Structure formats: structure tokens, C-alpha cells
Structure 1
Amino acid sequence: MKANDPFKKNVRFGIGVFFTVLEGLLSACVYMAIYLLLNMLLNNTVTIEHLNNLTFLIIGFFTVRLIAYGFGYTQGQIGGGAVSRQIRLYLGDKFKRIPLSRFHQGQIGQYVNTMTSDVSNYEQILTHRTGNLVKNISLSVMLILFVCFLYLPAGLILIAISLLFIPNMWLSFRIVKKYGNARNSVCAEAVSSIVEYVNGIQTLRAYGMSGTRNKTTTDILREYSKVSYKYEATGIPVSFFFNMLTWLSLPAVMLMTSKPWMLGIVSGVDYLMVAMMPMLLAKLYMTISVDLFGYKNMMISKRKIQAVVNEPEETGSMEPLHTATHEITFDNVDFSYVPGEPVLKHATFTVPDQKLTAIVGDSGSGKSTILNLIAKYYEANGGTISIGGKPINHVAAERVLEQISMVDQDVFLFDDTIRENIRHARPNVTDEEIEAACREANCDGFIRRMEKGYDTPTGENGNLLSGGERQRISIARAILKNSPILLLDEATASLDIENELAVKQAIANLLKEKKTVVMIAHTLSIVKNADQILVVSDGKIAEAGTHDELLAKGGKYAAMWNAEQKLSA
């Protein structure tokens, strides 16, 4: 296996399987001891010494079995858990290399399901299924060989019954392939639906949609229940039929061996042991059948993990992106989220170095898409995007983002303290530098008024803070990062007047430094002093110029400005 193979087994896992098999084989030795005892009883050679020796032998077997089982189980659990941890760490690292666009295309539920449910299922293979399967199969082989030793024809019957395992497993695996994959797919959809329901619970309640969306979630869970039922209802008869054939081996073996027993060819003890073995094998086969069925189903989880492992990673040079200037150029850039539905069409413009460029336009015209392409959240379908004269098409997104600070409309905060959330911008900064950035971001005041100050928890995704507070913390991160390029995506949208004024002041402080700034604004009064204004319409740059120049043209911008003035009058 490859050194970086996330499924690579460790020594402890191998030791666990070995001792589990050893424990199973030792359990067969108990039947050998019973065989010796029955022979002594039949031949009337029983003595206290023989009984004591046999008793101590059985106690010895049980003691060694107990030690082997305890040690093997512990090692198997530790080894399997280590592989599971290894897979989760690998996936966590893999997620950092998967193109960001994948996380904007409804893949989150699938990734959550893979990281949690699928990895847990695969861990079950390692910690329980594998060891038990190898142990029970080895024990079955040993018991069949024992019957062959006692009376070969009876052993051949058991071998024939064992060969029926092949069509049984073939049918079972077909069922797993049909319904197991469907169940896992529905499970991933269910996780996505639940994640969406929980994340949107506030909106659902506000608009009285809880029942509607709850019905959607309930429907997908009901579908999961139906698929699971079909899965079990189809698989159980196959296992039951094979189990019935296995139990029929008991009368077959008894009939086969009865005549040789009556003729004295087979001893009474041998006949008794031969008659006992089909019952033991029937129970073993039932366990093996269930484990194999579960093993095959869980291998679906492994394939889903492997699918994530095999997902294409972001391409591009990891060499640092060094440029003397930081102007941004779009040259005939095309982009579409869905093939055949273009969002940008031959977009061509330049954002001047260390100047403020504003982007305005109707909703859905492609404004946010431009920022996403600059940050390399998505790759352009055509054309060239350059920073400082260097095309970024073949530069890793990580290297491009090193040059960019972003303030989004929807701010994401980690479930941590305010201080640590800001520190993510530059992990090695001092507390004093964090506090200085917060003063510039106009958030030092409200932070210090909190009981725990900078050590105040923000809650999950910052839900313990208001929208304006989250926004100003986001601006503090951007100030602290101090990147040469600043992207602002409607940073003052959806805020009340007081918070909007506070955020505007914070942005003004952020713009004091000479940076290449691209700002999307929902109100034109905010951007009228921009060095350049780009008007986006239908995926194209319809107009470009300063506020006065665009008003003089009397085009789309002038119409938008006049409409805004009427609303504010």
C-alpha cells in the first residue's frame, strides 16, 4: 500500500485479528476435550486422574481463550480506532485541498455524512466484522476437518453445504449493491436536509415554514425507512433459506452415518460428535452470513470515503505570488455555475492598483461572482484573470488568498472567543495588535463592555453576537491581516442604522491604508466617491467610470442613481 493510504492498517490491528482467530481455534479444542471424555466414558476407562487432567486441560483452554480474547479485542479496538482516526485526519486535510466550489454546490451534507457515518461504519468493519469473520471461518474449517477425520462421507456433506455459501453470498451482495447504495445515497440526502433544517430554523419559524420544511425532512427520512425495509426484507429470506439448508445437513449427516454406526464401522462417540457438528456449523454459518452481509454493506461506506479521497484537488503552483503592484485585470472572462447558463460573458475590466473600485448592478447580475473569481473560490471557464500583471489561472487558490482580505455580507465566526476569532487572520500576533485592530474596526468599545471582554465566546457561527458586532469583528480580521487587496461584499447590507454607521466608520478606517479595494454596494451613495465604478448587467460590464462620468452618460447607472434619490427623498 502507499505510504499515504488512509486505509493502511497498523500492527495492532493485525495483532488483534491474530489473537481473535487464535481464540476461535482454541474454542474448537474444547470439543476435542469433550470427545476424549466421551471415549473414556464409552470405554469405561474413566479415572479421577483422567478427569482431573481433562478438567485442568479445559480450564487451561478457557484461561488462554480469555487472555487471547481480551488482548486481541483490546488491540483490535485500538488498532481499528487508530485507522479510523487516520482516515478522519486524512479527510480533514483533504477537505482543505478540494476546490472551494465543491462546498458551494450542495456537497456539505455528503461530506458530513462521509466524515461521520461512513467512517464509523468502516471502523465497525475493522473493530468487529473482520476479526469475527476470520475467526468463524477458521473455526468452521477446523470443525469440518474434524468431521472428515471421524467419517469422511459426513464431512463431504458438510463441505457441499459450505459450497452453497457461494450462491448465497452472491445473492446477498447483489442485494447490497442494489439497496445498500440506494440507502446510503438517501442517508446522505437526509443528512443534508437535516443540516439545512437546523441551520435555517430561525427563518423557518419567522415565516411559518417549519411545517413545510419539516415535511421535506420527514419525507426524506420516510424514504430512508422504506429503502432500509426493502433492504432487510429482501436480504432476510436469502439468509433464512441458506440457514434452513444448513440445518438440513443435520438429518443428512445422521442418516449417512447411521448405517456405518450400526455396522460398527463408526463408534458411538464418533457418531455422536458427527451429529453434533452440523448444529454448531449452522450457528456459525448464520453468524458468518450476517457478518458478511454487514461487511459488504459497510464496504459501501469505504467506497464513499474512497470517492472523497479520489476527488480532484485544487491545481496550481504553490510558489508565493509576488507582484510589484496589485491591479486586478479581467480579460474576456466567462463563467457559469451551471453549464449552459452563463453568469459572466466576456467580462473585461481593470481594477487599478491602490484604488477603490465599486461594483454595482441588479441582483443576480454577477457582482459577487466577480469577487469569488478574484479569490479563486471558483475557476473561470474562459479568459484570463491577472493580479499585478501575473495570470492567476495556474496559481494555487491558497497563494492568491494570501494577498486578499475579505469582508463578506455573511460573516463566519468559529465557536471560540472573540480574541481567537480575530487572531485567525495572523496566528502569531500579540494581544496588543489584536486590540489595536479592534479599535480601528470600531469594535473595541462593545467588546470591553462585555463581562469577559476579548475572552467572550462568540457561540456557534457567532450566534451570541449581533449582525453589526460580527461584521465589525470581520473588519478587525481584515485590518489585522493587512493584505494588499481588499474585497468587500455588501458589508453594510442587512444592518440597522446604528450598526450600519458603525460599520461604515470601521470600513473608512480600513480604507485609510493604500490598498487595491473592490467593493460591492447595495446603495450608490456609499460608492459615489470611488475611483472607479463598474456597472454589471446581464453578466457584462455595461458601464465604467467615476460617479460624475456615469451620471453624464445618462445610462443604467444614472437611472439607478435617480431611482435611489427618489426613494430617499
Structure 2
Amino acid sequence: MLKIIRRIFIIAEEDRKSLYISIIFSVLENMTIFVPYMLVFYSLNNYLNDDLTYNSIRNVSIAMLVSIIFRCIFRRIVDGLQSAKGLNIFAKQRLKLVEHLRKLSLGYFSEGNIGNIISVLTTDIIFAEENGMIFLGQLISAYISLLLTSIFMFYINMWLGFGFVIIVFIAFLTINYLDLVNKKHGAIRQEQFANLSSAVVQFIKGVGAIKAFGMENEDNIDLEKNFEKSKNKAIIFEKAYLLPRILTESSHYIGIALLISLSLILYFSSYISLEFVLGMMIFAPISLDSIMVIVNGVTRFDILEAGLDRYDEIMAVKELKDTHKNIELDNLDIEFSNVRFAYDKKDVIKDINFKIPEKTFTALIGPSGGGKSTITNLISRFWDVDNGKVTIGGVDIKEISLNTLLSKISMVFQNVYLFEDTIANNIAFGAEQATHEEIVEAAKKARCHEFISDLANGYDTVVGEGGATLSGGEKQRISIARAILKDSPIILLDEATSSVDPENELFIQEAINELVKNKTLVVIAHRLSSIKEADSILVIDDGKMVESGNHKELIMQNGIYKNLWDLSQLV
């Protein structure tokens, strides 16, 4: 318990001071809870000794009212310092997590990890901000309350004090048992929540293909299995949780009965007076309420700890190192030197060597899964090579700041992603300072100004998430307009015309011609006819560069390229 409390203080960082102050006021609030009971005991004592007068009743009433007012004031201060700061603290953690994710390699974002990320952002952090700060003050107050109550019991009677300490000790044994069960099964449940999130993400992403091929029942089976697993894990947790919960609650209620019984024994043994017995009957229930606060806190803090563990696991993932060096490059020649790269321990790129001079047209061709897209990802440093190095202008890209590197590169791929925002903002993504006139000019060059102008709100039209309200060809042209506006000297292009209709193909090809003027162009080619004029063609197969040269040279080699070319002529 103390470990997780310390952990929250570490997370709080510069807001830690506010938490310390909130805890002080939380303790003060907790102490005011005892005041009415003390006043009742005082009045009862006066009544039994025939000292209860109008003035004493008036004074007790005023004191009770004042204690209630102060309790309200302390509660308001605590809420302001804990709840508001809790939202602020975990808002910062969200931003920190997103900033960290931005610096990770693309290889981390598998569907399994995406489910985990979603679960942390939408479940774990929300639970932490809603429960962590609130129960933090209550827990610390509960511990202090038990300490003060123990002192008070010893003040009344030594044996009553020892009895109270023994009851609290037994209660803490049951709480520790509850804590162990929570940690064991809570972590399992949280893991299953992440698995369920992954299954849901996978189902939603593939729902189009599932419907198209009539596979709803088959794919629903996997999703239903995950729902079933989540249900079973929850049931197992509840069953395991039942006994320790019964024991902890029993320690509370039995403890109250034992305190009252002990006070009666002490009274009949002439160790305490009648007023103390009557006072104990009133005070005993409140004296052990702190145990139930700790029990509820343990349950929530175990869930919180499991969530923070998963948060820490993500934050511990190694980032791509950024030197932040703004190195001036003499040229933009791209070179791979003995590059090896493995994904999930499987070699994807195997000792590749090549050089792409600046302002030249280089095409990558070969079978699917051969490593073409991986090469463009390594140029962009979406992943880091395992061996060898990738250089631009003779400088290892690991030595160039990520911002500088990516400012030199624009990417246009087949799977275009547009944000749920205006078309203008989607085009200006990566060039936020662009004026409206510059956005329109880029759209005209990309051959998309006409269809944008026909929309009801023109450039202010909000497209659906992923660009769902636009056709594939329209999205492609907007992505090309985005690249034109960015005006980077290196263009990485996954041949965008391979899966569009003839009309869009013409528009897109015209847009690409505008994009690549005086640029270094690297194309992942699907149609060999489109790369016949390339300065260099690299044939990639099984992670290796098996052939290289221009069209005429490769035809003469009578190898893989020649076979692919001959096949393309038959279509």
C-alpha cells in the first residue's frame, strides 16, 4: 500500500506540494468527524453526573455546529487540491504517453500493443485520475485516524488500548490477504481487458472484409471467445475475492462487538466507569470505520497499481534516439551500407548495399513481402537498422535530428489516412503555417482543386475519419497535395495508381509529375511500365537486392526483372 502511495507522489512531480497540503487538510477533516462523538460523550458524562445544564447544552450545540462547518471547509479544500490536481496530473501523463508513443518505432504498433495502448489511455488512466487522488488522502487519513484512536483508547484504559491494537492487527492480516488476491487476479483481468481491446480493434478494422466474404459468424467466434474469457476471468476474480472480502468486513463488525464487550468486561471488573462504557458503545463503530476505508482503498489501489504497471511498461519501451542535431547536409544522396533489419526476430532486410544519388528516379520492385516497404521505412527512420547504416548526404541518419530528417522527406502511399478535419487542414498537415492561397495552389497542382470546389463547404469540408467520405482517388490526390505543399526534396512513393480507376489514374499521374519535379524519387513499383525511364531499378527479393540497373541493363541480365517485364506485357 505504501509503495503505491509513494508511486503516486512520484507521478505528481511539481503538483506534489498540493497533495501534501491536501493530505494535511484531509487529516484535519478526519479529526472533525470525531468531534460530535466526543461532544456526545461529554454530554453523556455530564448527564450521568447531574451536570447537564442549559449552558452546557448550548456550548455543545455551538461546538458541534462549528465542527460541521470546519469539516465542510476542509472537504472543499481537499476536493479542490486532490480532484482538480488529479485531473491535471494524469492529463500530463496522457500527454507524456502520447509524446513517448510518437518517438517509438513503427514496429511497436502491432495490433496486440495497440489494444494495450487503448486500454491504458481509456481505462487505466481514467481509473487513476478518478480514484487515485481521492483515495490517497482518505487512506493516509485512515492510517492516522487508527493511530490517534489507539492513543485515545490507551488513555481511557490500558487493556482497552491493547484490545483495540490486537483487533486492528487481525484486520490488517485479512487486508493483506485481500491485497494478495487482488494483485494476483487483478493483473490477470487487466491483461484480458487488453486482449479484448485488441480483438475489438481487429474486428472493427476488418469488418469490411468480414462482411464482403460473409465471414461474420467465423470472425464473431474469436470476438465472442474474448468476451467469454473476460467474463470467466471476472467470475474467477469474484469467487477468489469473496472469502477475503468476507474476512475483512467481518474483522470490522466483529471488532466493534469485541470492543463493546471488552468495555463491558472492564466496567464489571471496575476498571472503567459507566459513562466510558456508554461512550464506547457510541464511539466503537466510528473508531473502526477506518478499516473499511483501507479495505476499499486496497481494492482500488490494486487495480490502480496494475494499470500503472502497464503504463510503465509502455513508457519503458525504447525510443528512437534523437540527437536533435540540425546538421547541414551537403547533398541528399541516400546510401545503404551492409544494412540488416529483423522484425519479430525474423530477418526482413539482409546485408543490402546501394546508393541513390540526389535528384534521381529509383524504383524498388520485387515480390510482395520481399522488403520494399521496409526499405522506405528505414529511409524515413520509422525503424532503426540492426546492423550497418543508412546515410543521407554521407551522414548516418541516426545522427540527424528526427525533425530535420523528416523535413527532408515526403511520403505518398496507397493506404492514405486523412484526419477527421477540414480538407484544408489535411492538406496543410506538416506545413501548418501555409496560407490558404498556398493550400489552393498545391491542390491545383495535385489536380484536386476542382472536386474540392464542388463540395458544399469547399476547403472547409470536414472529411470523415480516415477520409471515409472521399473516394480512394480523391484521397490520393489530397495526400499528393499535402506532399507538394510540404515541398520536401526526397519523395517516397508507393505507386499510387496501381489500384484506381483509369480516370483517377490520369489525374494522379499528372499530380505525381508535379510532385516529383527536381526531387529525389524512390518508388515502390507495381506497374513496370511506369518505371521504364527510372535512372535505377533495384530488384528486392527475400530481403536481398538480387539485381540492379536501368531498364535496358536489367533486360540484358535475363533475370527476375526480365521475367516480370515479360509477364507484364501479357496483361
TM-score with structure 2 setting the length: 0.93
Aligned counterpart in structure 1 of residue 505 of structure 2, from 500, 507, 510: 500
- The answer as to 2:268 corresponding to 1:239 is no
- The answer as to 2:229 corresponding to 1:223 is yes
Equivalences for residues 55-454 of structure 1 within 5 A: 55-104=61-110, 106-339=112-345, 341-454=346-459
For residues 461 and 433 of structure 1, the distance between their equivalents in structure 2, rounded to whole angstroms, comes to 23
Q: Is contact 1:377–1:397 with CA below 8 Å preserved after alignment?
A: no
For residues 495 and 55 of structure 2, the distance between their equivalents in structure 1, rounded to whole angstroms, comes to 92
Aligned counterpart in structure 1 of residue 460 of structure 2, from 452, 455, 471: 455
For residues 417 and 542 of structure 2, the distance between their equivalents in structure 1, rounded to whole angstroms, comes to 29
Shift in Å at residue 418 of structure 1?
0.7
State the secondary structure of the residue aligned to 1:409: coil
Gap regions ≥5 residues in structure 1:
none
For residues 123 and 441 of structure 2, the distance between their equivalents in structure 1, rounded to whole angstroms, comes to 44
State the secondary structure of the residue aligned to 1:342: strand
Shift in Å at residue 506 of structure 1?
0.9
Gap regions ≥5 residues in structure 2:
1-6
Shift in Å at residue 96 of structure 1?
2.3
Q: Which amino acid aligns with 1:457?
A: V
Q: Which amino acid aligns with 2:204?
A: V
State the secondary structure of the residue aligned to 1:326: coil
Q: Which amino acid aligns with 1:191?
A: S
Shift in Å at residue 482 of structure 1?
1.2
For residues 257 and 159 of structure 1, the distance between their equivalents in structure 2, rounded to whole angstroms, comes to 14
- The answer as to 2:518 corresponding to 1:514 is yes
Shift in Å at residue 325 of structure 1?
2.0
For residues 105 and 356 of structure 1, the distance between their equivalents in structure 2, rounded to whole angstroms, comes to 35
- Comparing 385-394 with 456-465, which one deviates more in the overlay? 385-394
> CA 1:508/1:545 → structure 2, altered by over 3 Å: closer, same or farther?
same
- Comparing 35-44 with 320-329, which one deviates more in the overlay? 320-329
Q: Is contact 1:367–1:536 with CA below 8 Å preserved after alignment?
A: yes
Shift in Å at residue 159 of structure 1?
0.4
- Comparing 91-100 with 463-472, which one deviates more in the overlay? 91-100
> CA 1:398/1:104 → structure 2, altered by over 3 Å: closer, same or farther?
farther
- Comparing 422-431 with 302-311, which one deviates more in the overlay? 302-311
Q: Which amino acid aligns with 2:53?
A: T
For residues 390 and 4 of structure 1, the distance between their equivalents in structure 2, rounded to whole angstroms, comes to 40
Shift in Å at residue 143 of structure 1?
3.0
- Comparing 89-98 with 351-360, which one deviates more in the overlay? 89-98
- The answer as to 2:553 corresponding to 1:549 is yes
Shift in Å at residue 39 of structure 1?
0.8
Shift in Å at residue 8 of structure 1?
4.8
- Comparing 198-207 with 549-558, which one deviates more in the overlay? 198-207
- The answer as to 2:563 corresponding to 1:559 is yes
Shift in Å at residue 95 of structure 1?
2.0
- Comparing 391-400 with 549-558, which one deviates more in the overlay? 391-400
Q: Which amino acid aligns with 1:234?
A: A
TM-score with structure 1 setting the length: 0.94
For residues 547 and 9 of structure 2, the distance between their equivalents in structure 1, rounded to whole angstroms, comes to 55
- 1:353-374 Cα deviation digits (max 9, x unpaired): 2111111111111111111111
Q: Which amino acid aligns with 2:415?
A: D
- 1:290-327 Cα deviation digits (max 9, x unpaired): 21221122122222222333332211422124322222
Q: Is contact 1:239–1:286 with CA below 8 Å preserved after alignment?
A: no
State the secondary structure of the residue aligned to 2:15: coil
- The answer as to 2:526 corresponding to 1:529 is no
State the secondary structure of the residue aligned to 1:343: strand
Shift in Å at residue 73 of structure 1?
1.8
Q: Is contact 1:535–1:543 with CA below 8 Å preserved after alignment?
A: yes
For residues 535 and 128 of structure 2, the distance between their equivalents in structure 1, rounded to whole angstroms, comes to 57
Task: State the superposition RMSD in angstroms.
Answer: 2.2
Q: Which amino acid aligns with 1:113?
A: S
> CA 1:162/1:74 → structure 2, altered by over 3 Å: closer, same or farther?
same
Q: Which amino acid aligns with 1:415?
A: E
Q: Is contact 1:315–1:394 with CA below 8 Å preserved after alignment?
A: no
> CA 1:274/1:521 → structure 2, altered by over 3 Å: closer, same or farther?
same
Q: Is contact 2:111–2:198 with CA below 8 Å preserved after alignment?
A: no
Q: Which amino acid aligns with 1:261?
A: Y
State the secondary structure of the residue aligned to 1:429: coil
- Comparing 41-50 with 228-237, which one deviates more in the overlay? 228-237
Q: Which amino acid aligns with 1:365?
A: G
Q: Is contact 2:175–2:248 with CA below 8 Å preserved after alignment?
A: no
> CA 1:225/1:398 → structure 2, altered by over 3 Å: closer, same or farther?
farther
For residues 366 and 399 of structure 1, the distance between their equivalents in structure 2, rounded to whole angstroms, comes to 25
State the secondary structure of the residue aligned to 1:107: helix
Q: Is contact 1:148–1:154 with CA below 8 Å preserved after alignment?
A: yes
- Comparing 545-554 with 240-249, which one deviates more in the overlay? 240-249
- Comparing 388-397 with 486-495, which one deviates more in the overlay? 388-397
- Comparing 554-563 with 102-111, which one deviates more in the overlay? 102-111
Shift in Å at residue 478 of structure 1?
1.0
Aligned length, in residue pairs: 565
Q: Which amino acid aligns with 1:561?
A: W
- The answer as to 2:29 corresponding to 1:23 is yes
Q: Is contact 1:16–1:79 with CA below 8 Å preserved after alignment?
A: no
